[in-house]
Structure 1
């Protein structure tokens, strides 16, 4: 089988990426006769006055043809006498940077295009940095539209120097700069007479010979477990794809994160038993003894893979909603998915200069370095050592959309140096002593909805019934514990996180904790539920905004309407209503005594 090269084309919008690949396939006669005929027919009604529009080979969506841009990633498979290729033609528009990153995640090599009339621009630099982030270490810079600058060598050298200085400091092993004309075919499949000053290869011959093999040591066997196969009581196999190294029957492997050891009893590739398997093969492995291994665990012979619950990462933020510290996501590394929190944003990366820029929030298509905390230990490695265990995605817990992709830089020492201290007096003993089941009653609703009043009355009734309680009120905690926090989104996120941790400690003390906070964001309430666990009971005080504003006990709505209070929930800042609260009450429909009785009656269902 011929050597396979997986590469992408990227760059700014209208730099000629689709045209370049289309012309390459056409000139190299790598099209079927019907494809060639369809291209010629489609071009007659295209945007080039009847001349062949090579971009139509890649731009298949109607919107792409109408606008003359690439929107989605288009994959093409072709083979020459010297090599097989898979090319991903990726969009150049900033709006579709997410799609470009998806294409880069599969590739070993990148062809970055630059319009010779424009030179290296911000989107060019962004794509180069994303390629580096995704582990692409070999590039071609194709300086396109050289025909529009009269094949000027000086202009070519200016662009080359600009790009090379930009890539300094990136993890790039090789850069080849080639002057091309995607429309006219110069230096695409063969050397052009229009560039006698260029002494390198044309693009296709270069792609056929470029070496992208990795020099780093990949001897250690690594298998992220995807599935446990148990067809009957006599067989228990662990299935997955070998990401590095080789494994043979009789080899001793380590199961992470448990660090248990066992020897390989048998290896199945498909339904055939083999004595050895190599990187890239999907396998089923049987071990010589029973171990606790499940999806997300890793079988390996390496002693350098890390197990921790905190790490520093570089990410590309791809969500329309900005990132702020304290937000909670699902973190997927390898075959394992865990809840995780972006603890802090260390800095952004300036696209143009590569410099680190202080930041407290991150917007779509920005590169950032941050610290991430997980709900439990996870197996991972540096991306440069193992891409399968070093790359990850962040998934929004509400929409299930991918919010970011990133790479692990290193674990945080505190994740292994700080160990939970078990105590002899635990939650169970404390709750038995108090004769009650610990709960957190999380009252949420708009300002003026009656949260604090209702929570206060509910606590009085619970205490009268002999329960042990503690009420945490939103305004009260801002006089002490959260005195340093304002009302920006990132402050609200941290405010709720701290209260959730305090409520959890109170539950550990056997208490029933009541919290009264607006807590406007569903993601933050979900994070609080994750921290507190099964003891979390959401009480949605669903009093309508009109009624809350009519009450306006503190005069805050009036100030907010006058523009005196920025970021006021319900007026200038959103309130995301709970989708499935355990308890819901509208205080405008009942007296305070009636509302209290209704809520306490429902609470008793969870206390029994």
Structure 2
């Protein structure tokens, strides 16, 4: 390995990683912004740029359409919209990035939920000509619900409003007020023109009234933390290993990825939902025994006692074990075309565990215009955000989503065809009052 290659490897190893997602309404310029970021930060290979230039010429465009760098599906290019979540990986000398370019069309809000679920930052675009619209509010609500710690308001197409400071200020004030009411902890507003490159990578000469960072500068400097070791230690069991070899005739290990926290040899743990206790006898990582392992390592944990443990069980330190319950109260983003109704039978997937469940109540649905609660809607339809009360057939060990995005989230699944119905966050609520009591017991899946 050459010295320059070694220096580059050391530099990349020293940089931090930021996962971020873009969101906004149709034609707000998300894909163009992403393309501009990749192009101006010199993260586009020559053959990629050549392919984009060729595709742009075939569509009668003189300049390369940078949106084509992310709109990879044929249907996306034909319609000029983003449909699927496009992931892109790039790096600058200061930071590495994983970018999720999410769709803007209301029909694909479910994909925005997917893209933002692991993001530390969300870039919400607004067309300077249109201001804050319903889809802007929906994306802000989703970002708040998913506990995305940093939100950037990128007021795009400033060139089409003559770079007027008053237009930017009005939009920034409206969005900041709305997002603050949702509980978004940090909001940064930046006026840009993705098409012209104003304030994306380089400062704009057309907006000398703006003294803040460019988009890339903010992405490079915003503080992020990946320290999961300080969280409640949780280990969802994915697979039970029984090699049955002459060398290890009694080997029994529980394999999986540590969701949060750290585990140590000799530590007393509780197996959930059974509640049985044991001690960690050994931890195997990459074929070697270690004394300690932490998130997000994939390891095999061996216990001092033979306990009936299978996929879906959760190991946690006995001193910090979560409570188990069959009643789940949560806020969900409904992502399926078919409605979610009271009394509906579903499957609930939490970490590696999937159990039968029934929707006992839907106490409220969030109204995005004024953040009020529509009581007892009876059902949730595509893109609705609402409170649900779910009763599961078996106890689950859920943390509050505010404490852990990994062990506080779950999916509701249609048992008939496996369709994902809703993404849920345990304990999260925009409501000012608690959810009402569950409805009467149902026949059939009556837990």
Compute the TM-score of the two structures, normalised by the length of structure 1.
0.67
Q: Distance in 2 between matches of 1:293 and 1:197?
A: 63
Q: Contact 1:12–1:113 at 8 Å: present in 2 too? A: yes
Contact 1:137–1:171, Cα closer than 8 Å, also in 2:
no
Superposed, which structure 2 residues align to 1:522-601 within 5 Å?
528=444, 530-531=445-446
Equivalent of 2:49, from 25, 30, 36?
Answer: 36
Residue 221 (structure 2) pairs with residue 234 (structure 1): no
Correspondence 1:324 to 2:341? yes
Corresponding residue of 1:289: 305
> What is the rounded CA distance, in whole Å, between the counterparts of 1:35 and 1:215 in structure 2?
35
What does residue range 25-174 of structure 1 map to in structure 2 within 5 Å?
25-46=38-59, 49-174=61-186
Aligned to 2:396, which of 371, 378, 394? 378
Paired residues of 2:228 and 2:295 also in contact (CA < 8 A): no
Structure 2: how far apart are the matches of 1:311 and 1:392? 10
Equivalent position of 1:389 in the other structure:
407
Deviation per residue, 1:491-544 (Å, 9 max, x gap): xxx99x74x3xxxxxxxxxxxxxxxxxxxxxxxxxxx2x449xxxxxxxxxxxx
On the 8 A contact 1:311/1:410 being kept in 2, the answer is no
* Rounded Cα–Cα distance in structure 1 between residues aligned with 2:340 and 2:231: 38
> Shift of residue 216 of structure 1?
9.3
Q: 1:354 — aligned with what?
A: 371
Q: Report Cα offsets for 1:192-245 as digits up to 9, x if no partner.
A: 111111111100011011013279983432111111111124111111111111
Unaligned runs of 5+ in 2: 1-12, 430-438
Q: What is the match of residue 399 of structure 1? A: 417
Query: Are 2:271 and 1:255 aligned?
Result: yes
Q: Secondary structure at the match of 1:370?
A: strand
Q: Which structure's CA Rg is the greater one?
A: 1
SS in 2 for 1:338: strand
* 292, 297, 303: which one aligns with 2:320: 303
Higher relative contact order (CA 8 A, sep 6+): 2
Please identify runs of 4+ aligned residues in structure 1 that moved more than 4 A: 214-217
Partner of 2:135: helix, strand, or coil?
Answer: helix
Matched, 1:15 2:28: yes
Counterparts of 1:399 and 1:255 in 2: how far apart (Å)? 31
Q: State the shift of 1:30 in Å.
A: 0.9
Question: Displacement, 1:272?
Answer: 2.2
Gaps of 5+ in 1: 412-493, 501-527, 533-608
Give the structure with the larger helix fraction: 1
What is the CA-CA distance between 1:304 and the residue it aligns to?
5.3
Per-residue CA distance 1:318-375 (angstroms, 9 max, x = gap):
1222222110100011111111111011000011211111212221110010111001
CA RMSD between the two structures: 1.9
What is the DSSP-based 3-state SS (H/G/I as helix, E as strand, rest coil) of the residue aligned with 2:310? coil
**How far apart, CA to CA, are the structure 2 residues paired with 1:299 and 1:361?**
35
Task: Verify the 8 A CA contact 1:15 1:114 in the aligned structure 2.
Answer: yes
* Secondary structure of 1:389 counterpart: coil
1:315 to 332, 338, 341: 332
Q: What SS is found at the alignment partner of 1:125?
A: helix
CA apart distance, 1:51: 1.1
Q: 1:63 deviation in Å?
A: 1.1
Report the CA distance between 1:278 and its aligned residue. Answer: 1.4
The alignment partner of 1:168 has SS state of helix
Shift of 1:3: 0.8
Question: 1:216–1:74: structure 2 CA closer, same or farther, 3 Å change rule?
Answer: closer
Report the secondary structure of 1:140's partner residue: strand
Provide the secondary structure at the position in 2 that maps to 1:50. Answer: coil
Q: Contact (CA 8 Å) 2:145, 2:428: kept in 1 or not?
A: no
How far apart are the structure 2 equivalents of 1:217 and 1:338? 28
Pick from 185, 191, 211 the counterpart of residue 223 of structure 2. Answer: 211
The 8 Å contact of residues 46 and 53 in structure 1, kept in 2 or not, is answered as no
Task: Report the more deviating stretch, 299-308 or 63-72.
Answer: 299-308
2:216 is the counterpart of 1:199: no
TM-score for the superposition, normalised by structure 2: 0.90
Equivalent-residue separation in structure 1 for 2:138 and 2:66 (angstroms): 26
Contact 1:297 1:379 in 2 (8 A): no
**Helix, strand or coil: the match of 2:242?**
strand
Indicate whether 1:335 and 2:352 are aligned. yes
Number of residue pairs aligned between Structure 1 and Structure 2: 419
